[in-house]
């Protein structure tokens, strides 16, 4: 029995109801789901999900992580709440969103993929300067919160970018 999993909307659509029993979801996913898959939304009442909103401290921590990596602009409010809820409950985040997976890696939040194999097999990452565009070797163990630092050439902020092999 999986304890403490936060499910993104892809999981809500793809997983069998029995697999998601007792999992955590945020209320704003309901609107998202009713737009994408209304039939599925109706079925979810049988899954005994726990609908919960993260507190402001967890939202602030999730926002801080996303700002550090430069992922903030690509995240939806729902994504940010899911990440914050996983942080707050020390839960595992089930998501195929590579941004969320990356943020989990950096924030030390456990994650699992919903249907895909996850970022490690799909993407590699590089540290890129937001100023001059210089590329630095990517951190190989991004498992804890870290400052990504500044460019040694121009002093601008570094951010993680994905790179296709």
Residue 9 or 69: which CB sits closer to Zn ion? 69
Task: Please tell me whether residue 153 binds Zn ion under the rule CB under 5 A.
Answer: yes
Cα 70 to the chain's mean position, in Å? Answer: 13
Q: Which of 4, 110, 118, 131 binds Zn ion (CB under 5 A)?
A: 131
Binding of Zn ion at residue 46 (CB under 5 A)? no
Residue 131 vs residues 116, 135, 138, 153, 159: alpha-carbon distances, Å: 33, 11, 17, 9, 10
Interface residue with Zn ion, options 129, 142, 158, 160 (CB under 5 A) = 129
26/129 with CB nearer Zn ion: 129
From 73, 81, 98, select the one nearest 28 (Cα to Cα). Answer: 81
Toward Zn ion, which CB reaches closer, 61 or 128? 128
* Only segment of 20-28, 71-79, 113-121, 123-131 that touches Zn ion (CB under 5 A): 123-131
Place of tokens 């697999």: 19
Q: Could you give the C-alpha distances from 21 to 44, 53, 66, 126, 163, in angstroms and in order?
A: 9, 18, 29, 37, 36
> Measured from the CB of residue 151, what is the shortest distance to Zn ion in angstroms?
3
Q: Are strands 92-94 and 124-129 parallel, antiparallel or unpaired?
A: unpaired
Residue number, 118 or 131, with CB nearest to Zn ion: 131
* Cβ neighbours around 3 below 10 Å, total: 8
- The window from 3-11, 40-48, 69-77, 148-156 that contacts Zn ion (CB under 5 A) reads 148-156
Q: Which stretch binds Zn ion (CB under 5 A): 83-91, 100-108, 127-135, 137-145?
A: 127-135
């Amino acid at each position: 029995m999986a304890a403490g999993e936060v499910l993104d909307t892809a999981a809500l659509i793809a997983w069998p109801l029995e697999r998601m029993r007792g999992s955590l979801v945020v209320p704003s996913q309901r609107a998202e789901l009713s737009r994408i898959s209304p039939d599925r939304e109706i079925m979810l009442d049988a899954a005994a999900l726990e609908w919960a909103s993260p507190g402001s401290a967890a939202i602030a921590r999730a926002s801080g992580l996303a700002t550090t990596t430069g992922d903030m602009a690509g995240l939806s409010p729902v994504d940010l709440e899911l990440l914050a809820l996983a942080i707050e409950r020390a839960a595992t985040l089930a998501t195929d969103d590579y941004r969320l997976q990356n943020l989990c890696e950096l924030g030390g939040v456990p994650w699992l993929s919903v249907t895909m194999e996850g970022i490690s097999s799909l993407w590699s990452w590089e540290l890129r300067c937001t100023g001059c565009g210089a590329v630095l070797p990517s951190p190989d163990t991004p498992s804890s919160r870290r400052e990504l630092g500044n460019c040694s050439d121009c002093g601008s902020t570094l951010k993680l970018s994905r790179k296709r092999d």
